Amino acid sequence: MGGTGDTVAGREALIRFEGIGKTFGRVRALSDVDFTFMQGECVGIAGHNGAGKSTLMAVLAGVHAPTQGRIEVDGRDAPHYDANAARDAGVRCVFQELSLCANLTVAENMCIVHPQLRGRGWRRTATRLMREKLEAIFPGNGLKGNELVSDLTLTQQQMVEIARGFTVTDQPVRLVILDEPTSSLDAHTADQLLAFVRKAAQGGITCLLVTHMLGEIERVADRVMVMRDGSIVSVLGREQSSRASIIQAMGQHLEAERAPGAARVQTGRDRERHFEWNVGAKRHTRIEASRGEVIGFAGLAGQGQTEALLAIYEAATRHGPSRAKVAFVAGDRGRDGVFPIWSIAQNLDLRWLAGGAPRRRGLVDLAAARAVVEAWRAKIGIRGAAMSAGILSLSGGNQQKVLFARALASDADLILMDDPTRGVDVGTKRDIYQLVHDEAAKGRTFIWYTTENEELSHCDRTYVFRSAAVTRVLHADECTEEALLAASFEEQAA
């Protein structure tokens, strides 16, 4: 292990891992992990998809028992470390796959992880605690606490999940695991969270930030743990934890970054529009696209971008002038994307089967199906399990790759993507950007909603949404951070 070693001077050890290993059947997810989480530090955790980050966090949360190694809490051996022991030690977890119950209200969801909220007035107390914490982390969020979770956007659900993790009831919060906490948050809300994380760490709470957004780690982490293939390969101190050094430790060698706007500046203007849709509350918002164009949707999260994508999908699947061969990469992977009891292969070739798959005497050509799955596995680097294994045996980022491959493997000319690189590692993101460029060059049209502003440099034009309407349309060369921010807060529709 390189870098600054395992402990930090001047801070007390909270939880110590020694020789931790974890296997799932024949898959070795973790091997020989040594690390001490200190009180009041912020640790960034980086690594490629399938590196073992979520598994390590599940061991820390007591969800998975390690198959090897020992754990110490406050300097004492903890031989029976499970979810209850983790809770007693003050460990809270904000999961990558959100764990809220959709059919309960926000306040009711509080009681699931804080069962001590009971008796007379429990609902009022739960609502108050939730609102206080939401306000502390995300000022001006507008949530009341009595909303049904199924009525919330993915962003709001992520905010609730985070606030719930930091809420104190009868036991102190000492360590909070944040697994991809900003994956559904826009830049403004992500900034609010990062500022809160720094404050929480200064106040003595250990915060673990597991993320592929390396700039976030660079901004807030005191130390960075870099994982590769189930092991810690480097621990970097604050001064050494630049984006470049993290990527180098991950073993991913990326070409020089492309300047925003440089990618597609010359394309897109004055082309004949092939697609036109009217979306939004009164169908007042007009979206246009040409063949081979990459169109971005931006703005603060939850401003109607997903609804606009769904309206376009609906129009494209109806009979009429807007009909098109369309595929959709769903934003809420767990709810709308993955078929949990199906294999990886079945999840991948589903859309291909539905449109244009070759048939033999009316039956699916199984050899062709296998070839499609194999081609996309290799092209997009789906790693971690055989294609016949259940989709849930893949890490979150690898599941996301399957959803992206599902859309691209189809016969669709129009690909709608709802934040498709959520949870995907930096190397794979580059591959995805290249694929989008290549497929657009072949004439496919992409509509791409993203919460990561840098990704808009890959779009010919970007529609910025505010209150379910478009405030600005920015061409690639106008799509700067400042212009996006200004348009995101503008009220009047263009």
Ligand X SMILES: Nc1ncnc2c1ncn2[C@@H]1O[C@H](COP(=O)(O)OP(=O)(O)OP(=O)(O)O)[C@@H](O)[C@H]1O
Interacting residues with ligand X (CB under 6 A): 24, 27, 29, 47, 49-55, 384-385, 393-398, 423, 425
**Least separation in angstroms between CB 429 and ligand X:** 12
User: How many CA atoms lie within 13 Å of 353's alpha carbon, on the beta-carbon side?
Assistant: 15
Query: Minimum CB separation from ligand X for residue 32, in Å?
Result: 15
Which of 50/165 has CB closer to ligand X?
A: 50
- Closer to ligand X by CB, 93 or 470: give it: 93
CB atoms within 10 A of CB 270: 5
Q: How far is the CB of 212 from ligand X (least distance, A)?
A: 7
**Which SS3 state, helix, strand or coil, does residue 350 take?**
helix
Cα 185 to Cα 227: distance, rounded to the nearest angstrom: 24
CB of 232 to ligand X, least distance (A): 12
Of the two residues 21 and 260, which places its CB atom closer to ligand X in the complex? Answer: 21
In angstroms, give the least distance from the CB of 313 to ligand X: 26
Residue 76 tokens read as 């004492």
Neighbours of 443 (CB within 10 A): 12
Residues 6 or more apart in contact with residue 490 via CB below 8 angstroms:
464, 466, 471, 472
Strand arrangement of the beta sheet that strand 445-449 belongs to? 326-329, 414-418, 445-449, 294-298, 461-466, 469-475
Residue with the CB atom nearest ligand X in the bound state: 397
Of 227 and 464, the one with the shorter C-beta distance to ligand X is: 227
Determine the Cα–Cα distance for residues 113 and 100; give it in Å rounded to an integer. 10
Pairing of strands 175-179, 206-210: parallel
User: In angstroms, what is the minimal distance from the CB of 59 to ligand X?
Assistant: 10
Nearer to ligand X, 292 or 423 (CB): 423
Q: Which is nearer to ligand X, 53 or 466 (CB)?
A: 53
Q: In angstroms, what is the minimal distance from the CB of 108 to ligand X?
A: 28
3-state secondary structure 132-147: HHHHHHCCCCCCCCCC
Spatial distance between the Cα atoms of 491 and 484, rounded to a whole number of angstroms: 13
260/390 with CB nearer ligand X? 390
Output 96 or 153, the one with its CB closest to ligand X: 96
Long-range contacts of 120-126 (CB under 8 A, 24+ apart): none
Contact 372, 194 (CB under 8 A): no
Q: Please report how close the Cβ of residue 180 comes to ligand X at its closest, in angstroms.
A: 7
E strands, 248-391, in order: 275-279, 285-289, 294-298, 326-329, 359-360, 363-364
